[in-house]
Amino acid sequence: MASAMQAANGFKQALLRGGPTFGVWQTLPGANLSRAIARSGVEWICIDTEHGNIDATDAQMHESVAAIAACGVSPIVRIPANEAWMIKRALDAGAHAILVPLIKTAEDVRRLVSAAKFPPLGSRGFGSPFSMEKFAAGSRIPTATEYLQQANDALATIVQIETAEAYTNIEEIAQAPGVDMFFVGPFDLGNNIGYPILDGSLHEELKKAIGRIFEVARKAGKATGIYCTSGEQAKGFADMGFNMISVAADMIAIPSHIGASLKAAKGSTKDWGGEITGPYGR
């Protein structure tokens, strides 16, 4: 039976059920933006402190985590690097999951898991007064003791597979305990294995690499995720069996919607010029 905290973590529940769960990438700061995205019907929002314009250490990340959780949506924080203090700050803010980039080896994963888990599974420090309220079930907020006892099972730990080293070491990485998901960063993975995404399309060799990551994760009993730039692309990876799939990013959705609306207002047949060639648009 799921703990109260695990039951309040919609993202973790979706992973346990299986099937796809859809969300959005937030790269711009602001609790109002977080709330607006959360009210769109998505199941999770990834607060991107690696490439986004969001402070990884305190105010902006804390405010977005709180705003998203208050809307009943799971806040996921992508930290800038595999650093213990960054993991602590994201989890202490109340993140339901952390997404960790720049993983290369199984030892990297072991360090990550140690920082993300309370003893005896890890070495995470205990004491944040902010985490508990992000797992409220109705008016019931877990106590600090309940958070301590339940967090190891209730939170999700996601490793990003994007480096050439991680791709080479994928089988060994898959055996490291404490990881819930492999998440494919297709742009950096393509760059690092020699098949960059230059025009928005994926080279066949990159597709094969993504398929290999998916199969290794599946055999190891781990969920899979991938960054997508559109709903159409997301549908394809959902049909393939991926679990965590982005359908948009704020820095794609805002200019593309405005550009399309402006084109319609002008009665123009000219393309609005916003072709997606990078992770966040043009």
Hey, which residues are catalytic here? 51
First to last CA, the chain: 46
Phi, psi for residue 25 in degrees, rounded to 5: -90, 125
As a whole number of angstroms, the distance between CA 259 and CA 134 comes to 36
CA 260 to chain centre: 28
97 to each of 10, 57, 74, 252, how far by Cα in Å?
11, 16, 8, 23
| HEC per residue, 201-251 | CCCHHHHHHHHHHHHHHHHCCCEEEECCCCHHHHHHHHHHCCCEEEEEEHH
The neighbour count for residue 278, using CB atoms within 10 Å, is 14
Q: Does 177 sit behind a cis peptide bond, omega within 30 degrees of 0 on the bond before it?
A: no
Mode of pairing for the β-strands spanning 21-26 and 44-48: parallel
Count Cβ neighbours within 10 Å for each residue of 156-190 and write b for 16 or more, e otherwise. Answer: bbbbbbbbeebbebbeebbebebbbbbbbbbbbbb
Rounded Cα distance, 124 and 144, in Å: 14
Tokens of 151: 């967090």
Q: What is the DSSP letter of 134?
A: G
Helix-, strand-, coil-residue percentages of the chain, each rounded to 5: 45, 15, 40
